Structure 1
């Protein structure tokens, strides 16, 4: 039987409303409890009687009918101070004087109608009497219950404490609901016995250890594989009022009891999730919910963390069991949780989040929403949304207010309306918070310092926005309203993404709306889908490559490697060269990718109008290893992205679209084949009569050349006999484009995608990666900036060691650089840093600033570089012409490659 703590002697208004609708069985049970309460004397006897109600065992039909509020009302009526300080009227203090003389009393066996005569002393314990009965009858001690004057006798009490008189008559009854689980009853009774003693103010050595041990033992013997017996076993915890006993321990005024109670409940929560199989979670959830309901009635602020832990446990259990549409008996374990029981958690969490958001709106010093509240909010909401959809038969989105005819349950209508109010209220606050963020960002950008300090709240903003986006899908017009707000707060949203998005986050909801993010935000989210490059030198992938065999040896090292070994750091060294380190790795990436896309290798075709843009060559099959090389190419491109190396080449639109899983249209081939594009446009725009006159002589075929031989391929069955006319010319153009740019390279694209996926660590397919980017985004990530190198930007990001900015050598250096061609500048930058193409941000996008060092070498020596540290070294050349001659030498491509030392 479960008793709700109600020290004030009043019941919650919601409980009163529920009680009014209970059955006649509940009314009868309440009447019986009222009778108990009215018969109790005042003072210590009243307190003792109220305490005994905690452990009294009712008959099965009575137990299942009693509502927890009815029991609470009975306890309050019996004694409003029953859980007061031991110095007043302790619920467990009930001692009467007794003579230590010999006692003889009678024990009547209710089930068999027999009577036993027992002899004992006043100081003997009730437990010793049980043991004597066991010897006489064989009834297990764990199954015995002795009743005297309407009260159950507790094991640890003496006969004197129980006021057993000479020739007294006791009743022996069996525990009605414990016959299948006597050991479980014993563990829980032992625990409750310790709790009673603690609440009386007794000193119990190792009390917390004993209580936790009993809980562990009780859960450890829970049937793991027998779902038919598990409910009865776990029901014992509720039937014994163990939740109430532990809560009473938490609110006990006795020093140390609160800590013991909290630790015991937390131990139960931990074992519920870790020691029991998931199949038992549905049986444990109502017990945890009971803890929540009891704690909700306790007006003690210090117990809020414990309440939050119970609430979080409920949320984690729901991930396994889900929700039911309706609730059953509140004290029954044989049920799952209903949406009506969970929604109050969502409501109170929303109120807490309101407060946190309001604090951020009022001041940048606001603490913002608590992470635990946001996490719990995100745990409960999916179950609420699912329950609404299932109840409405997936008739979403829902108009606001919802039509009464659309939902046959008024409680669901209230939940639907309340959830919409939560959505609107929180969205308004989030909009204000993002506006404050934008003001903060604007002030930071105009200030001289580069302070990156945000007030604390934004760390939880994205998680809240993600849930609001999910809620918006339930209501008509709400999703568009949500994203309209996000577009207005694009700057703040992007700042949040750059600062707070981590690899473990699910950002799909943002990736589906690219118009609310900028390139930097999208790039950051895409980089979070790759493995993190770790500087673990014990697991790095080592390569030693001959420059003369660059492509072939790189192919062997990368294509034959286990993908997992490529997820770590790379160690690269060229044969007969001393240079090693990140600079050499950057150079290797650039050189290998340039070789892969070199048209002489017949793997890729360059676009006529942009020689840095490529798509797979349909004729690549001339190389029997071409498909393996495409898989190698996919790995290299993914590795370059993961290591943030700009390789100077980009993918054409038709290639990009196929990797993203999109269809290729005529407009998409404009850059890949301008001639075919122009011809197809003319066919579509020609006069219909001219086309129908067969002036072009076209049929549904395509002529291709393979290994020097021309071959005719039908675009569809019987295409050679199907003439192109004004009615089917659109079909002809679509089939022609599809065959030339999709069908003919499908194998190449598939193997490239497979290689890319080997490096891609996300569980999502690579289609998500490419769909989440614009083609221009991928261009920036692979090629970097397409602009000319700015000498002013270069100079602004360079520092000096051994030189001053005003030294003649430095003045001459920048004068020479400003007169170099674009290609020469790139070669000089490559010699200096192993970077030929700058990131889209320019020099500020590099890993560090650049450095010019004064070397002590003779002036006849050429400049040297330490590419790992972006360091250029040269002696103090005597004049501008000497320096210019030296620099022109190293800006020649064949010299600049790997001229650095390390």
Structure 2
């Protein structure tokens, strides 16, 4: 038995945690027992006060014969100074005699003893009370100083029941059976007290007033000795007793919502801390109950909005919490150092909760001073005096260990690419994505300490390859926004994965999908109605659509619909968007769109369509101009950004910047511009009184800035806002729109939305195609690829679209598609080829000649044919 274990065992059926007072029988004079020089081994735990501090006490060595023990009552008195007094007296002694003895021992005058929430009469004998072994009585100067009698009564009863269960026969332990129900009842008392406190006058102005009442109840739980008694029962040799104590203690664990109301949860910190302290030394760090209490403590601390009484001092709280945070940090780092690098998700969550709380308190501690310069925490003499220095030491050790882990990953990266397949490699790296969670906490800490911020950047820069592999294969994680600061270290695939995390995943169950039935002849109008009238959550669940009078359904039909809708929506006939003069696939907002009375609703529709296309990962062949991209990203627009959208205006402005003073004066420009809409012309001031302000060599930069802003922002602000709102509707968190675009460059968005506009690589096409009924060397297959190679690029796209509903390939070519392509052999030799676009299947008849093969493929690669579906 370890010393930590022995410290909570009851020696010789009496506690040795406090001053030991012998109360002689009434036949003998009262006399104080002299203090012993040695304190008990568990005095610090048993005499823990409400403030969490430990007070040592001496004990007397009293011995008695068996017969004397039978006539003696052993009990404890909890004094007003939160110290516990061990006493033994004759059974026929009265409460008055006990009080007289305590008064004579210096504990004050006009004393009262409380047990079970009621004052004990002075003439009552100890025998009449029938106190359970090792009972705790509470000393008070007046009865009214003992508030919440119900809590005192229940807390004392829990402690007594646990103590009685420990002394009973291991096979019965009847006193322990209802311990968890008693603890739940105590928690409900605190819950009712908190709700009752809401009616107090001060509750409206001070929300802590209601929290104080619940906290007072939980403090009574500690003062009554219930926590210590439950832990002692948990240390029992009896498995029955251990299980009862385990269930009772777990009532305070946040994972049991049936026993712990949320409004009480936030003030359970003192109780959880007490359980963690007691269990830590008694049962060790690997005990499941201890780990559950520690994890719950981390969760409560992370979610709390204010420090619960009596822990109003952040430093006092963190001094107690820091050792537990250090424990779980070591568990995580040991896992990363292992061969498998496996870390438990529950341990990872606990680690994150502890360090989120520590970082929050650290930011409060440093105030608005920003990063703490290195010279502040280089003073060795201060390192052990303040928790902020100890947190820095822990952070430095964490960063060092993560650096070593990333070095190992860098070595594994080169081996994995050679020895295992792509899918298997992705699975392995996805299983290591917990390293990103550790890096996330290090990033939070880097916003406190200057040297941690500097060293973290160096570590990430030195290990770009494993960092990219981790991000590229990471599963959905909403806490990786900090990586925008290191976007330059990430490859396109990693950035793409990060933005896809910010888009909904959709649902596989058709019952959760937003269903649409579209008539091809009214494609845009009906699509507009379905999308604009839908609620945001309905669209985030995914889409399921059919074309009227057609049997085809599934992802292939949805891909076709996206391409057709975008083709119609961005057509110049709609007057919503204008193509860039030098890049007809790139569009910016048309400031004359007001000719359509529904134009603002259509811009909301367009924003939703773009967001949905990204969510469903469909390349629609349409890309946005830089001015529109920058607006979505919340960035300002400069002259250089309009070069593609309006090359004429761009060239004119550049020329003005190159002119001398005389040339500018001869232009007779003012801070205004002309605007032509609906056949009328008007003058728009770029600033108040702009028509009266001449442009000269001194203010030409300001003029150009205002001209660009007015043309590409102010004049189309309503359209921009509706388009932005529509796009944001699709994001998981609409408030994260700027972070979404922070991860991307315009070129990245082009790849995600527009796909590849390069020539199709037929060899890549062939290498990603498999056959059913044919073999690769069959003459029909040889003819097929020969016909495809002879097609112009647009015809190849139409054939690919007919086959897969994909017209524009992902940036990484056919390898970026969700599946291989398939050519199936059909029975008929005369029919046209057909397709199942959902499964990327082309059903190709075994044509008898090359010419017939070419003729039939030419027919299906026409635009009006490839926009509908063949049949089997």
TM-score by shorter chain over 0.5: yes
The structure 1 residue matched to 2:166, chosen from 193, 199, 219, is: 199
Structure 1 residue aligned with 2:336: 357
Mapped partners of 2:268, 2:348: distance in 1: 24
Does 2:454 align with 1:480?
Answer: yes
Tell me, what secondary structure is at the counterpart of 2:374?
A: coil
Structure 2 residue aligned with 1:381: 355
Structure 2 residue aligned with 1:41: 63
Q: Residue 107 of structure 1 contacts residue 172 of structure 1 at CA under 8 Å; is this kept in 2?
A: no
Does 2:294 align with 1:311?
Answer: yes
Q: Residue 824 of structure 2 contacts residue 843 of structure 2 at CA under 8 Å; is this kept in 1?
A: yes
Tell me, what secondary structure is at the counterpart of 1:215?
A: helix
Question: Which runs of structure 2 are paired with 1:417-432 in the superposition (5 Å)?
Answer: 417-432=389-404
Relative distance call for 1:546 and 1:280 in structure 2 (3 A) is closer
Q: Residue 110 of structure 1 contacts residue 173 of structure 1 at CA under 8 Å; is this kept in 2?
A: no
Structure 2 residue aligned with 1:82: none
Question: Which runs of structure 2 are paired with 1:26-105 in the superposition (5 Å)?
Answer: 33-34=57-58, 37-41=59-63, 52=74, 56-60=76-80, 62-63=81-82, 66=83
Tell me, what secondary structure is at the counterpart of 2:236?
A: coil
The structure 2 residue matched to 1:771, chosen from 720, 727, 742, is: 742
5+ residue gaps, structure 2, are 17-37, 101-113, 198-209
Tell me, what secondary structure is at the counterpart of 2:546?
A: strand
Relative distance call for 1:614 and 1:42 in structure 2 (3 A) is farther
Tell me, what secondary structure is at the counterpart of 2:511?
A: coil
Structure 2 residue aligned with 1:181: 148
Relative distance call for 1:729 and 1:174 in structure 2 (3 A) is closer
Relative distance call for 1:713 and 1:179 in structure 2 (3 A) is closer
Does 2:773 align with 1:802?
Answer: yes
The structure 1 residue matched to 2:654, chosen from 670, 681, 701, is: 681
1:450-477 CA distance string (max 9 Å, x none): 4335389724211110000111111124
Structure 2 residue aligned with 1:215: 183
Q: Residue 161 of structure 2 contacts residue 179 of structure 2 at CA under 8 Å; is this kept in 1?
A: yes
Does 2:573 align with 1:600?
Answer: yes
- Residue 838 of structure 1 and its aligned partner are, at CA, apart by 0.6
Q: Residue 852 of structure 1 contacts residue 873 of structure 1 at CA under 8 Å; is this kept in 2?
A: yes
Tell me, what secondary structure is at the counterpart of 1:835?
A: coil
Q: Residue 146 of structure 1 contacts residue 171 of structure 1 at CA under 8 Å; is this kept in 2?
A: no
Q: Residue 832 of structure 1 contacts residue 900 of structure 1 at CA under 8 Å; is this kept in 2?
A: no
Q: Residue 440 of structure 2 contacts residue 479 of structure 2 at CA under 8 Å; is this kept in 1?
A: no
Structure 2 residue aligned with 1:236: 220
Mapped partners of 1:668, 1:171: distance in 2: 77
Structure 2 residue aligned with 1:813: 784
Structure 2 residue aligned with 1:700: 671
Mapped partners of 1:841, 1:442: distance in 2: 21
Relative distance call for 1:484 and 1:183 in structure 2 (3 A) is same
Structure 2 residue aligned with 1:845: 816
Relative distance call for 1:229 and 1:417 in structure 2 (3 A) is closer
1:699-750 CA distance string (max 9 Å, x none): 2221221112232222222222222110011111111111111112211111
Structure 2 residue aligned with 1:120: none
Q: Residue 145 of structure 1 contacts residue 172 of structure 1 at CA under 8 Å; is this kept in 2?
A: no
Tell me, what secondary structure is at the counterpart of 1:469?
A: helix
The structure 2 residue matched to 1:631, chosen from 604, 612, 627, is: 604
Question: Which runs of structure 2 are paired with 1:514-553 in the superposition (5 Å)?
Answer: 514-553=487-526
Mapped partners of 2:704, 2:500: distance in 1: 38
Mapped partners of 2:828, 2:429: distance in 1: 52
Tell me, what secondary structure is at the counterpart of 1:480?
A: helix
Question: Which runs of structure 2 are paired with 1:391-406 in the superposition (5 Å)?
Answer: 391-402=365-376
Structure 2 residue aligned with 1:143: 118
RMSD between aligned residues: 4.1
Tell me, what secondary structure is at the counterpart of 1:542?
A: strand
1:788-828 CA distance string (max 9 Å, x none): 11111110111111111111110011111111111111011
Mapped partners of 1:764, 1:206: distance in 2: 56
Tell me, what secondary structure is at the counterpart of 2:268?
A: helix
The structure 1 residue matched to 2:345, chosen from 363, 367, 371, is: 371
The structure 2 residue matched to 1:829, chosen from 795, 800, 812, is: 800
- Residue 583 of structure 1 and its aligned partner are, at CA, apart by 1.4
Q: Residue 283 of structure 1 contacts residue 333 of structure 1 at CA under 8 Å; is this kept in 2?
A: no
Structure 2 residue aligned with 1:873: 843
Does 2:457 align with 1:489?
Answer: no
Relative distance call for 1:40 and 1:283 in structure 2 (3 A) is farther
Q: Residue 282 of structure 1 contacts residue 335 of structure 1 at CA under 8 Å; is this kept in 2?
A: no
Mapped partners of 1:895, 1:584: distance in 2: 15
Mapped partners of 1:799, 1:433: distance in 2: 41
Relative distance call for 1:393 and 1:750 in structure 2 (3 A) is closer
Does 2:316 align with 1:344?
Answer: no
Q: Residue 234 of structure 1 contacts residue 333 of structure 1 at CA under 8 Å; is this kept in 2?
A: no
1:22-58 CA distance string (max 9 Å, x none): 99xx99x85xx52xx22521687999999956xx123
Q: Residue 446 of structure 2 contacts residue 453 of structure 2 at CA under 8 Å; is this kept in 1?
A: yes
Mapped partners of 1:529, 1:306: distance in 2: 37
Structure 2 residue aligned with 1:890: 860
Structure 1 residue aligned with 2:714: 743
The structure 2 residue matched to 1:720, chosen from 663, 681, 691, is: 691
The structure 2 residue matched to 1:298, chosen from 270, 282, 286, is: 282
Tell me, what secondary structure is at the counterpart of 2:330?
A: helix
Matched positions, count: 806
- Residue 772 of structure 1 and its aligned partner are, at CA, apart by 2.5
Relative distance call for 1:429 and 1:745 in structure 2 (3 A) is same
Mapped partners of 1:140, 1:492: distance in 2: 64
Mapped partners of 1:427, 1:471: distance in 2: 10
Tell me, what secondary structure is at the counterpart of 2:552?
A: coil
5+ residue gaps, structure 1, are 79-93, 97-102, 114-138, 163-169
Structure 1 residue aligned with 2:25: none
Mapped partners of 1:373, 1:46: distance in 2: 53
Structure 2 residue aligned with 1:458: 432
When normalised by structure 2's length, the TM-score is: 0.84
When normalised by structure 1's length, the TM-score is: 0.81
1:134-166 CA distance string (max 9 Å, x none): xxxxx99862558999989873669xx99xxxx
Deviates more, 1:674-683 or 1:524-533: 524-533
Mapped partners of 1:285, 1:152: distance in 2: 38
Tell me, what secondary structure is at the counterpart of 1:612?
A: strand
Mapped partners of 2:215, 2:414: distance in 1: 60
Relative distance call for 1:287 and 1:51 in structure 2 (3 A) is farther
Relative distance call for 1:110 and 1:174 in structure 2 (3 A) is farther
Q: Residue 586 of structure 1 contacts residue 835 of structure 1 at CA under 8 Å; is this kept in 2?
A: yes
Mapped partners of 1:5, 1:623: distance in 2: 83
Tell me, what secondary structure is at the counterpart of 1:513?
A: helix
Q: Residue 557 of structure 2 contacts residue 838 of structure 2 at CA under 8 Å; is this kept in 1?
A: yes
Q: Residue 603 of structure 1 contacts residue 617 of structure 1 at CA under 8 Å; is this kept in 2?
A: yes
Q: Residue 397 of structure 1 contacts residue 476 of structure 1 at CA under 8 Å; is this kept in 2?
A: yes
Mapped partners of 2:851, 2:619: distance in 1: 33
- Residue 598 of structure 1 and its aligned partner are, at CA, apart by 0.8
- Residue 235 of structure 1 and its aligned partner are, at CA, apart by 2.9
Mapped partners of 1:455, 1:640: distance in 2: 28
- Residue 311 of structure 1 and its aligned partner are, at CA, apart by 1.7
Mapped partners of 1:736, 1:403: distance in 2: 51
- Residue 591 of structure 1 and its aligned partner are, at CA, apart by 0.6
Structure 2 residue aligned with 1:257: 241
Q: Residue 187 of structure 2 contacts residue 260 of structure 2 at CA under 8 Å; is this kept in 1?
A: yes
Deviates more, 1:592-601 or 1:226-235: 226-235
Q: Residue 383 of structure 2 contacts residue 390 of structure 2 at CA under 8 Å; is this kept in 1?
A: no
1:295-335 CA distance string (max 9 Å, x none): 12215466x322222222222222354576xx99xxx6898
